[in-house]
Amino acid sequence: MKKVFAIFAIALMTGTVAHGQSDNATKFRLGIKLAPNLSWIRADTKGVESDGSKVGYTFGLMTEFPFGANGNYRFATGLMLNNIGGKVVESFAVDTVGVKTSVENSSSVNLRYIDLPLTIKLMTNEIGYMRYFGQLGFDAGVNIRAKGDAQRITTSLNRTTDQKLTDVDFKKMVSPVKLGLVIGAGFEYNFSGGTSAMVGVSYHSSFTKLLEKDFYENITGGKTYADYIELCLGVYF
């Protein structure tokens, strides 16, 4: 956690210096963001499948540091509280002395992260009161919570057993750090002076594994990733 705040502080100081060196650039901006999201767990291992999505939200502080002659290029970062999740199923069969038993382990996982986005934002000149933008970069997240429900269904000799657990703590089974790609686009509407409303859509695709090997019963080194799409709503001041 200390490393995340240290990186954020360095970014703030770097952006402030960059602003001081460019007289023609627009000012450094602060804003707040609330973004409902739709998230899921992407599986890339035989025997593990995604089994549904979850609705969550992201909330936090946005910051922008312009660079270039006209300020249309910006380093965009911030500090976010991010709530995502998903459902995943592990399926396998066990043959014991000629008796075949099928097993299905399903888990519904709710995740919470402190996120630090590191992106470049490319903006158009103002058209009326509107400015359009595209955004590309990365985000880094530190997991602070992972809870959910689990279910284990076994079938053997035409007999099915269903076991359920609620409010399971998955934190030790989830990777502590999440890194991913961010792609987004949207527009801003200027109300007055430096106050602007922002609306956008962004796709976040993780490239670090979500679930550790201890999560699985019958798979070693399973690959799953946390992805989500969010509707970005914000105000810059």
Domain-located, residue 20 = yes
Tens of pLDDT, residue by residue over 159-182, are 999 999 999 999 999 999 999 999
Name the burial class of residue 144, with classes exposed (0-12), middle (13-18) and buried (19+) by CB atoms within 10 angstroms of its CB: middle
Which residue range forms the structural domain that includes residue 129?
A: 2-86+111-141+175-236
Domain-located, residue 158 = no
Query: What pLDDT is recorded for position 26?
Result: 61
3-class secondary-structure state, position 219: coil
* CATH assignment at residue 232: 2.40.160.20
Domain-located, residue 34 = yes
Distance spanning both ends of the chain, measured CA to CA: 27
Domain-located, residue 31 = yes
Provide the number of structural domains found in the chain. Answer: 1
Query: With 70 as the cut, is the pLDDT of residue 218 above it?
Result: yes
Quote the tokens at residue 203.
């796709």
Domain-located, residue 162 = no
Query: Structure pTM?
Result: 0.83
Measure the CA–CA gap between 224 and 209, rounded to whole angstroms. Answer: 6
Measure the CA–CA gap between 213 and 229, rounded to whole angstroms. Answer: 26
Domain-located, residue 53 = yes
Domain-located, residue 16 = yes
Residue pair 172/139 in contact (Cβ under 8 Å)? The answer is no
Query: With 70 as the cut, is the pLDDT of residue 110 above it?
Result: yes
Domain-located, residue 91 = no
Query: With 60 as the cut, is the pLDDT of residue 2 above it?
Result: no
Query: With 90 as the cut, is the pLDDT of residue 31 above it?
Result: yes
